[in-house]
Amino acid sequence: MAGTAKEIRRQCGSTKYKKGHEVKGPLGKDWVYSQSQRFRFLVCRCAETIPFSPAFIFPDGSTLSTIRRLSFLDVGATKCLAVPMSERTSKPVQIYQIKVTLRKSQPPIWRRIRLRSDVTLAKLHRILQCAMGWKDAHPHQFVIRDEHYGMPDEDDLGPSETRDERNYKLSDVMPAEGGQFTYLYDFGDNWEHILVVESTLPLQEGVQYPSCLAGGRACPPEDVGGLPGYENFLQAISDPAHPEHKDFSEWIGGPFDPDTFDVAEVNERLRAIR
């Protein structure tokens, strides 16, 4: 219990809590919602006690089947109820259609994918690598509602600001339709992908997920130097008189067409994901 109370106070006193989401349903606007890896928090912003209802609706649309009151604490002018993650009902699997665009790429380098709502962020990372054409050779990170998700550094002895992507499903963190979040790959080249949630669809039996519906332009080579380096690379390989033409041609190891995109090839790679 003491550990629970400490975690609640830390969460409620943080800037993360202040950016919490207003509760929908019978509890009304006096409550906000936040979460940590172990608990979901319902925080009352007024001093009075408000009865808790099992009909509470989480921001992702799921509800609670049973309620076990672990702790109901006064935290400043607020009251907080902590509910274990395990006490949420399972939400039916849905399909998200997401458009992925490499930020500032002109013409845009993009993909449109469909995937299940129950995949983890760790698996979404692998899906994006295949869909875009990267080689998974560098660190990555998701930024969703100002929270950072990725693979925490096991050598870092201090508290990590990065949440473990293996512990979060898309349905836990996905913005509503029209919302967007960021996937950053290779902190040196700084490839920033903008993911826009275009629609939420029912699961269709017999359909391959994940799948790529469409896309545009080839993925840049790894370690090319980000967008500025990629633009210089394209100029060099297209101009035999460019001073770096020979070096880049040898480095890439063959012809490179920036306008090519093969959706069938992408889906073949996606089928191999486990």
Residues 238-254: pLDDT tens digits? 999 999 999 999 999 98
Residue 107 preceded by cis peptide, ω within 30: yes
| 162 or 115, greater pLDDT | 115
Q: Which CATH architecture has domain 94-218+262-271?
A: Roll (3.10)
Domain boundaries in the chain?
Answer: 2-87, 94-218+262-271, 221-258
180 alpha carbon, distance to own chain's centre: 9
**Where does the pLDDT of residue 153 fall: very low under 50, low under 70, confident under 90, or very high at 90 and above?**
confident
Q: Is there a contact between 99 and 196 (Cβ–Cβ < 8 Å)?
A: yes
Q: Above 50 in pLDDT, residue 13?
A: no
Q: What is the pTM of this model?
A: 0.70
β-bridge pairing 78-84 and 39-44: antiparallel
Output the CA angle 262-263-266, nearest 5 degrees. 95
Q: What is the mean pLDDT of residues 23-31?
A: 45
- In this model, does residue 59 exceed pLDDT 90? no
What mean pLDDT do residues 140-158 have? 82
Indicate the average pLDDT of the chain: 78
Model confidence pLDDT, tens digit, residues 69-81: 333 444 444 444 5
Give the model's pLDDT for residue 33.
53
Residue 125 pLDDT grade (very low, low, confident, very high; cuts 50, 70, 90) = very high
pLDDT at 137 over 90: yes
For the chain, give the secondary structure using H, E and C.
Answer: CHHHHHHHHHHHCCHHHHCCEECECCCCCCEEEEECCCEEEEEECCCCCCCCCCCCECCCCCEECCCCCCCEEEECCEEEEEEEHHHECCCCCEEEEEEEEECCCCCCCEEEEEEECCCEHHHHHHHHHHHHCCCCCCCEEEEECCEEEECCCCCCCCCCCEEEHHHCEHHHHCCCCCCEEEEEECCCCCEEEEEEEEEEEECCCCCCCCEEEEEECCCCCCCCCHHHHHHHHHHHHHCCCCCCHHHHHHHHCCCCCCCCCCHHHHHHHHHCCC
Phi and psi at residue 98, in whole multiples of 5°? -130, 135
β-sheet with 94-102: strand ranges across: 162-164, 147-150, 140-144, 180-185, 191-202, 94-102, 110-116, 211-216
> Of 108, 121, 135, 112, whose CA–CA distance to 212 is shortest?
112
* pLDDT value for 264: 97
